[in-house]
Amino acid sequence: MKVHTAQLAGDGRNADRVFLTDNAVIVLDGASAFEPVDIEPSTYAESLGRTIADELTMVPEAPIADAVAKAIRRTTAKLDLRPGASPSSTVAILRTRFGAADLYVLGDSPIHYGTDHLAQRLVDDRLSLVATPEHERYLAQLRAGHGYDDAHRATLAWLQRAQRQARNVEGGYWIAETDPAAASHAFAKTVHRDAIEWAVIATDGAADFIDYCCCGWRDIAQFDKTQLVALLKRIHDWEDQSDPDGRHLPRAKRHDDKTIGVVSSLWA
């Protein structure tokens, strides 16, 4: 695989992580917490992602869900985490093997992929479907121009409390936290090599803007590191200069962490 990656912190410590193995790209987005949790989301994402990478390095063709489940279990024990008081993290993985690519998405970090003639995506949007009244209130406040004030932060804390009630339960949404069973509830698919020539994995801090401005994912897949760094900086500048209050593109923070990994050729 030919892989390029870039990252840009939002406000403060970057809770996104990206790991590479010989045949896999692993991207994680440690969720920002608007109420106290036991450890930093960045610490959780670092431990989880590194353990997944180690698992997939030791057994390159192991079921991805098994590797993620083991990583959740080991990270929970290592950091002495408690359900509900732990950070959570998305997990997005692209792995190549003979004749096919495995795609795995747990949480809202999408994988865009395709060929010269067709672009597709694997996305997990279940989080956006829970706590609907709270979610709509948060969006409405931003679209009305109230910006990132104390009322916004209070609304986000309220939203996260409601979301937590739906975390890792049937009918809710699934995410890496302390329950290894969440790993088996990811969206996953195997794509024949003829149907995937390129891929892009991005955390929502980058992906949401790319969708908003209708950039071409296939074109971005051909970017080198310098171009990816410039893209993330352009997103950051747009947030500062064109949408500082989140009115046009509502988002939890003015600047979220941004991570992007592109695979311009899976079979090189």
Whether 144 is in a domain gets the answer: no
Which of 179-194 are b and which e, b meaning 16 or more Cβ less than 10 Å from the residue's Cβ? bbebbebbbbeebeee
Q: Specify whether the backbone of 99 is left (phi greater than 0), alpha (psi in -120 to 50) or beta.
A: left
Any domain includes 132: no
Query: Is residue 137, in this structure, part of any structural domain at all?
Result: no
**pLDDT score at 33:** 65
Range of the domain at 20: 2-127+167-241+254-265
143 within domain boundaries: no
Side-by-side strand order, sheet with 258-265: 2-8, 258-265, 198-202, 111-114, 119-122
For residue 118, tell me if it sits in a domain.
yes
Pairing of strands 2-8, 24-30: unpaired
| Residue 115: CATH number of its domain | 3.60.40.10
How confident is the model at residue 35, as a pLDDT?
Answer: 62
Q: Tell me, what's the pLDDT at 146? A: 92
Residue 247 lies in a domain: no
In a domain, 162, yes or no: no
**pLDDT, position 10:** 87
Residue 161 lies in a domain: no
Q: Report yes or no: 8 and 258 within 8 Å, Cβ to Cβ.
A: yes
Per the structure, how many domains does the chain have? 1
> What does the block give as tokens for 107?
């949480």
The span from the CA of 177 to the CA of 152, in Å, is 25
In terms of Cβ atoms closer than 10 Å to its own Cβ (0-12, 13-18, 19+), residue 92 is buried
Per-residue pLDDT tens digits of the chain, which is 268 residues long: 899 999 999 877 899 999 999 999 999 999 876 566 778 999 999 999 999 999 999 999 999 999 999 999 999 999 999 887 888 999 999 999 989 999 999 999 999 999 999 999 999 999 989 988 888 998 999 999 999 998 898 888 888 888 888 999 999 999 999 999 999 999 999 999 999 999 999 999 999 999 998 779 999 999 999 999 999 999 999 999 999 999 999 998 899 999 999 999 888 7
